[in-house]
Amino acid sequence: MSETKIINDPVFGFIKIPGGLLMDIVNHPTIQRLSRIKQLGLASMVYPGAQHTRFQHSLGAFHLMSEAILSLSQKGVFIFDSEAEAIQAAILLHDIGHGPFSHVLENTLIQGISHEEISLFLMKEMNKDLGGRLTLAINIFEDKYPKAFLHQLISSQLDMDRLDYLCRDSFFTGVAEGKIASDRIIKMLDVREDRLMVQAKGIYSIENYLTSRRLMYWQVYLHKTAVACEKILINILKRAKTLQLNGENLFASPALHYFISNNIDKDWINNKKEETIFWYKQLDDSDIWSAIKVWQGHPDKVLSILSKDLINRETFKVKVYDEPIDSMQLEDIEKKIREKYQLSKDESHYFINYSTIRKDMYSMNDDQIDILYKDGSYKDITQASELFNVELLSKKICKYYLCHQRI
């Protein structure tokens, strides 16, 4: 077995990667691809420091998982060595299905299939490369393993994925409100009735975690300028795909060319899985940026203007409303855009976007965050917290985003 490797991480310090399976995963081309995909997509347009990658996030989540295994084991929670290695492998691989710019391009290049499903395709393919050593990790990832709390560590409302991305995104964006006590939360974890729980003395850390997550969503992930840039990028690719399917031969890398030349959905992938996954693994942020740089000079007015907008950070104008917008207002804005840029009605649709975004702090329909008391009883965080109640935690905040070309 090869020796342990140590990686210096700016958020958590030194991260140890044991030799063997976990090292083989880290060195695999499929996970190395994540080093070419930004964690926060186009949030760097707002927060210039947000240059960190999905690969860094995966390593951070792996580190927190290692700490959680150690903490639970010290409390008498029995975890076999094979199970520990499997959940460490699963958390390393949980994001391998992300496409360029992370969540931005889901349902743009591929329709009707999530990055989680693609992650599972890629895990199963990697399992063949690694001689079946990922079978247990895949079973836990799919929640098919008898110990349910192991899956909760990977995917729940208090998993290692969320703990890392809040710490990491807060650090790189400089948004202090997102900072959470991940080390304390992990020390407070326990297991009862095969469910992950938090000891009662950790309740304040959980309250801070939920509040921080809410603030990070509205201040970073759903920041109006970042949302506007994402809409420009999505419309660029939609326009490129329309032109390509109508007989144009656009400049694109072979991987991007495959996705803009075909209408790829779940049925397509089921029929051509090997071919689609091959090209998907070749795709990263650089494919998109290189194409957009060239498309600035394309004779199609829509593609050219939108490409210049994104490259030069000439973002859409954005307004955020608490109430729905009148359709007459949208039509008036679109008419002004048509007149200024001399566009047809079909073309002007690419320069305006109206969307509704809903977000809550805590979902009552997902795995609950249970608070464990010394007498062995437990309550959901909505009942245990003095700060929050069910209505406040589960209330969906709804905002209406209007993004359009400046006129």
Please tell me whether residue 214 adopts helix, strand or coil conformation.
helix
Clarify whether residues 92 and 155 are in a common domain.
yes
Boundary (domain end) residue, out of 222, 238, 259: 222
Clarify whether residues 343 and 231 are in a common domain.
yes
In this structure, is residue 384 part of a structural domain?
A: no
Predicted local confidence at residue 1, as pLDDT:
47
**Amino acid letter at 120?**
L
In this structure, is residue 363 part of a structural domain?
A: no
Average pLDDT over residues 249-277: 92
Rounding to the nearest 10 degrees, give the CA dihedral for residues 311, 29, 260, 403: -40
Percent of the chain with pLDDT over 70: 98
Query: pLDDT for 270-295, tens place per residue?
Result: 899 889 999 999 999 999 999 999 99
Report residue 6 as tokens: 């140590």
Least confident piece of the model among 10-24, 167-181, 248-262, 373-387: 373-387
Average pLDDT over residues 126-151: 96
Contact 183, 167 (CB under 8 A): no
pLDDT over 80 at 201, yes or no: yes
Boundary (domain end) residue, out of 160, 193, 222: 222
- DSSP 8-state secondary structure symbol assigned to residue 221: I
- DSSP 8-state secondary structure symbol assigned to residue 361: S
Average pLDDT over residues 46-73: 97
In this structure, is residue 399 part of a structural domain?
A: no
- Under the banding of pLDDT at 50, 70 and 90, the label for residue 113 is confident
Q: How far is CA 88 from the centre of its chain?
A: 19
- C-alpha 84/C-alpha 31 separation (Å) is 20
Helix 203-216 × helix 160-173 angle, to 10°: 60
Boundary (domain end) residue, out of 196, 222, 248: 222
What is the CATH classification number for the domain harbouring 339?
A: 1.20.1250.30
- C-alpha 272/C-alpha 87 separation (Å) is 30
Query: pLDDT for 165-175, tens place per residue?
Result: 999 999 999 99
- C-alpha 355/C-alpha 107 separation (Å) is 15
Average pLDDT over residues 247-256: 95
pLDDT over 80 at 394, yes or no: no
Q: What stretches of 155-300 show up as alpha helix (H) in DSSP?
A: 160-173, 182-187, 203-216, 224-245, 254-260, 266-271, 273-282, 285-295
- C-alpha 176/C-alpha 244 separation (Å) is 44
- Under the banding of pLDDT at 50, 70 and 90, the label for residue 2 is low
In this structure, is residue 375 part of a structural domain?
A: no
Clarify whether residues 212 and 160 are in a common domain.
yes
Clarify whether residues 110 and 183 are in a common domain.
yes
In this structure, is residue 376 part of a structural domain?
A: no
Predicted local confidence at residue 104, as pLDDT:
67
What is the CATH classification number for the domain harbouring 173?
A: 1.10.3210.10
Predicted local confidence at residue 200, as pLDDT:
95
For strands 352-359 and 370-372, give the pairing: unpaired
Clarify whether residues 129 and 178 are in a common domain.
yes
Clarify whether residues 30 and 165 are in a common domain.
yes
CB neighbourhood size of 363 (10 A): 12
pLDDT over 90 at 358, yes or no: no
**Amino acid letter at 160?**
M
Select from 250, 233, 228, 232 the least CA-distant residue to 241: 250
Clarify whether residues 159 and 261 are in a common domain.
no
Clarify whether residues 167 and 257 are in a common domain.
no
Token match 């931005």: residue?
104
CA angle 311, 313, 317 (to 5 degrees): 130
Clarify whether residues 169 and 60 are in a common domain.
yes
Clarify whether residues 172 and 252 are in a common domain.
no
For 252, the domain range is 224-358
Predicted local confidence at residue 193, as pLDDT:
94
Number of domains in the chain: 2
CA angle 302, 306, 310 (to 5 degrees): 170
Select from 395, 400, 407 the least CA-distant residue to 360: 395
In this structure, is residue 367 part of a structural domain?
A: no
Average pLDDT over residues 377-396: 80
Residues 6+ apart with CB under 8 A from 147: 83, 140, 194
Average pLDDT over residues 258-278: 91
Contact 310, 232 (CB under 8 A): yes
Clarify whether residues 204 and 267 are in a common domain.
no
Contact 198, 210 (CB under 8 A): no
- Under the banding of pLDDT at 50, 70 and 90, the label for residue 3 is confident
- Mean of pLDDT over the chain: 93
In this structure, is residue 374 part of a structural domain?
A: no
Question: Looking at the whole model, is its pTM more than 0.85?
Answer: yes
Clarify whether residues 235 and 177 are in a common domain.
no
In this structure, is residue 351 part of a structural domain?
A: yes
Average pLDDT over residues 176-202: 95
Predicted local confidence at residue 15, as pLDDT:
97
